Amino acid sequence: MSSSIQLPPIESVFNLNDFEKIAAKVLPEQVYAYYSSSADDEVSYRENHNSFHKIFFKPKILVDVTNIDLTTEILDSQVDIPFYVSATALCGLGNPKGGELDIVKGCADVNVPHMISTFSSFSIEEIAEAKINENQIQWLQLYVNSDRKITHDLIVKAERLGMKALFVTVDAPSAGNRERDARFKFSAAENNGPKVMEKSKDKDATTNGTSRTLSKLIDTSLTWADIETFKKLTNMPIVLKGVQRVDDAIRAAEIGCRGVVLSNHGGRELDFSRPPLEVLAELMPVLRDRGLNKNFDVLIDGGIRRGTDILKALCLGAKGVGIAAPFLYANSLYGSEGVELCTQLLIKELVLSMRLLGVTKLSDLNADFLDLSGLFARAITIPRTTVYHDSLA
Ligand X SMILES: Cc1cc2nc3c(=O)[nH]c(=O)nc-3n(C[C@H](O)[C@H](O)[C@H](O)COP(=O)(O)O)c2cc1C
* Catalytic center residues: 265
Is 183:391 a contact under the CB 8 Å cutoff? yes
> Of 74-82, 251-259, 320-328, 373-381, which part binds ligand X (CB under 6 A)?
320-328
271 binds ligand X (CB under 6 A): no
Angle of CA points 167, 171, 176, to nearest 5° = 130
141 binds ligand X (CB under 6 A): yes
User: Which residue is closest to ligand X by CB?
Assistant: 266
324 binds ligand X (CB under 6 A): yes
> Of 84-92, 200-208, 251-259, 285-293, which part binds ligand X (CB under 6 A)?
84-92
CA distances from 164 to 127, 167, 286, 323, 346 (A): 14, 10, 28, 18, 24
Per-residue contact track with ligand X, 17 to 56, x per CB under 6 A?
A: ------------------x------------x--------
89 binds ligand X (CB under 6 A): yes
Alpha helices in 147-264 (DSSP H): 148-160, 179-182, 210-215, 224-233, 246-254
Q: Applying CB under 6 A, which of residues 113, 302, 320, 335 lies at the interface with ligand X?
A: 302
Q: Applying CB under 6 A, which of residues 51, 86, 273, 332 lies at the interface with ligand X?
A: 86
257 binds ligand X (CB under 6 A): no
For residue 308, give the nearest of 83, 122, 37, 134 by alpha carbon: 83
> Of 232-240, 287-295, 324-332, 368-376, which part binds ligand X (CB under 6 A)?
324-332
For residue 322, give the nearest of 171, 149, 132 by alpha carbon: 171
Nearest approach, Cβ of residue 136 and ligand X (Å): 19
79 binds ligand X (CB under 6 A): no
Nearest approach, Cβ of residue 253 and ligand X (Å): 20
Q: Applying CB under 6 A, which of residues 51, 72, 88, 145 lies at the interface with ligand X?
A: 88
Nearer to ligand X, 118 or 293 (CB): 118
Dist CA 364 CA 358 (whole Å): 10
127 binds ligand X (CB under 6 A): no
One-letter amino acid identity for 390?
A: D
Is 301:286 a contact under the CB 8 Å cutoff? no
> Of 16-24, 87-95, 153-161, 364-372, which part binds ligand X (CB under 6 A)?
87-95
Q: Applying CB under 6 A, which of residues 27, 70, 155, 323 lies at the interface with ligand X?
A: 323
117 binds ligand X (CB under 6 A): yes
Annotated binding site for FMN: 87-89, 117, 141, 169, 241, 301-305
For residue 272, give the nearest of 52, 50, 48 by alpha carbon: 48
| Eight-class DSSP state of 7 | P
Nearest approach, Cβ of residue 5 and ligand X (Å): 20
325-357 and 307-315 helices, crossing angle to 10°:
70
Per-residue contact track with ligand X, 150 to 169, x per CB under 6 A?
A: -------------------x
Is 143:119 a contact under the CB 8 Å cutoff? yes
Alpha helices in 299-389 (DSSP H): 307-315, 325-357
3-state secondary structure string across 258-306: CEEEECCHHHCCCCCCCCHHHHHHHHHHHHHHCCCCCCCEEEEECCCCC
Which chain residues interact with ligand X by CB under 6 A? Answer: 35, 48, 86-89, 117, 119, 141, 169, 241, 263, 265-266, 301-304, 322-325, 328
